[in-house]
Amino acid sequence: MIPDKEPTAQVPAAEHTLRILRHLASRPAPVAASAIARELDLPRSTVYHLLTTLAAHGFVLHLREEQRWGLGASAFELASGYTRQQPLTRLGRPLISALADRLGESAHLAVMSGADVVYIVEERAPRRAALVSDVGVRLPAHLTATGRAMLAEMPREQVRALYPDASTFSTRSGTGPQRPGELRELLRTVRSAGYASEDGEVTSGLRSIGAAVRDPSGWPVAAVAVTWSDAHERDVADTARTVVEIAAELERRLRR
């Protein structure tokens, strides 16, 4: 059987793309494509092809009159995303660690990325079940406690844009909301309770409770959550109070 060589073939293109972006970021002004090719020792045809692709996605901008290339809006979105997340990671890590120690269960901090959550802090409790979540892992927001907590704090128009119809809903265990109406009802429950929960919808046998972290404008910038096994009985109300308390403390620290 001949191995699939496509992933290997794609590696140089990805590396060249990253080198071009890093090169543009290091320059004080836009640069000609010929200069990029010369300074990075790349074929001109490769540079033009990659720049055209990057421009189509907004990562670079072609200044036609000057025949030069600079960073585009999408590159700045990545930078601003890092700027937003880095303080969250720095300030959130000790609180997530304290939450895990206090409850003896695994705890996490996540942010929204489109219709997914991305975990930016993960604290594993000893002698507890392995989790699918880890730093950098993405999961569907509508299935997770962190995602539901943040979605419940978003304007309804934003939620409708993320979940316009049934085709936008995925499932991991065959459970969870499958239609916009089901999600709206679930989020109403979250808003009423003041926290979100999920039971086996991400991983069978595991439950989670999450609470949103809001910025001064009220936008949910992150969510705190704790996950435990059905094999360990917990007082849900008491657990929820602790998670909400940690989320509120992170809010206070972000506003200082």
Q: Where are the domains of the chain?
A: 6-71, 81-255
Which tokens go with 20? 């071009």
Q: What is the pLDDT of residues 152-205, one digit of tens each?
A: 999 888 898 889 899 989 888 778 899 999 999 999 999 999 999 999 888 888
CATH-assigned architecture of domain 81-255: 2-Layer Sandwich (3.30)
Per the document, the length of the chain is: 256
Q: What is the pLDDT of residues 9-59, one digit of tens each?
A: 456 888 999 999 999 988 888 999 999 999 999 999 999 999 999 999 889
Which tokens go with 19? 């080198």
3-class SS at 134?
A: coil
Residue 88: name the closest of 113, 56, 127, 120 by CA. Answer: 120
Of 1.10.3720.10, 2.60.40.1220, 1.10.10.10, 3.40.50.300, which CATH number belongs to 6-71? 1.10.10.10
